Amino acid sequence: MKKIVLLLALSAGLGLTAKAQDKPVSFGVKAGLALPNQTASAMGLSISTSSKTSFYVGAVANINLSPMFTFQPGLTFIGKGGEVDFSDIAEEFGFGEDDVADMKATTNMSYLELPLNLLANFAAGNGKVFIGAGPFAAYALSGNDKVGGEKVDYEFGSGDDQVKRMEFGLNFLGGYQLKSGLNIHAGYGLGLSNLQNSSNEKVKNKVFTVGLGFNF
């Protein structure tokens, strides 16, 4: 009889321990600051735009593969693009600084992004440190260029004078999460695909992000 009671108590203890461990699947939200820029090249010339200020907001699923590794797909709305001060690149394109004085251009693009990241987790203090990477696919919702007070909306499609809707690249991220579920994180998105259809012109997105998240 004592053995039965002992086994029942042990089973109950194991059950409580299992409940205390991370759930196999959990969900979270995130939001923060995005600092995107672009690289562009055409006719043997290349430039890297300055970063502009944007934001991102999204949701993630955390699928625990092992005590150490987590697969984290997500869905994120994020602003990308960049800024160009023409006076900084006047010499490269054969213009005098007076010809382009005070001329600035801003590229604004909004994407719905699907990251597929693999995270490694390490216990630290009252929580854990996580680092990871993975591919992403993004779908452009809108885009435009602003030069001075004029705005030109992008046309999306497969024509040489149109912009591609789809973008592909790699994500890198890291951060720290408390046991409560609150986390602070930073990331870098490296676009690998050309946004332009023309083979003579290449434009790629890059974006640095930093923000807060909460896993339920």
Q: Is the pLDDT of residue 1 over 80?
A: no
* Vertex 176: Cα angle to 173 and 177 (nearest 5): 115
Helix (H, G, I), strand (E, B) or coil at 213: strand
pTM beyond 0.85: the answer is no
pLDDT at residue 94 tops 80: no
Q: What is the pLDDT of residue 43?
A: 78
**Percentage above 90 pLDDT, the chain:** 71
Reported as a pLDDT band with limits 50, 70 and 90, residue 123 is very high
pLDDT digits (tens, 9 = 90+) for 126-173: 999 999 999 999 999 999 999 878 899 999 999 888 999 999 999 999
Average of per-residue pLDDT across 18-45: 84
Give the up-direction half-sphere exposure of residue 201: CA atoms within 13 A in the CB hemisphere.
Answer: 12
The pLDDT score that the predictor gives to residue 91 is 53
Q: How confident is the model at residue 87 (pLDDT cuts 50, 70, 90)?
A: low
What's residue 98's pLDDT?
53
Q: Are 138 and 164 in contact (CB under 8 A)?
A: no
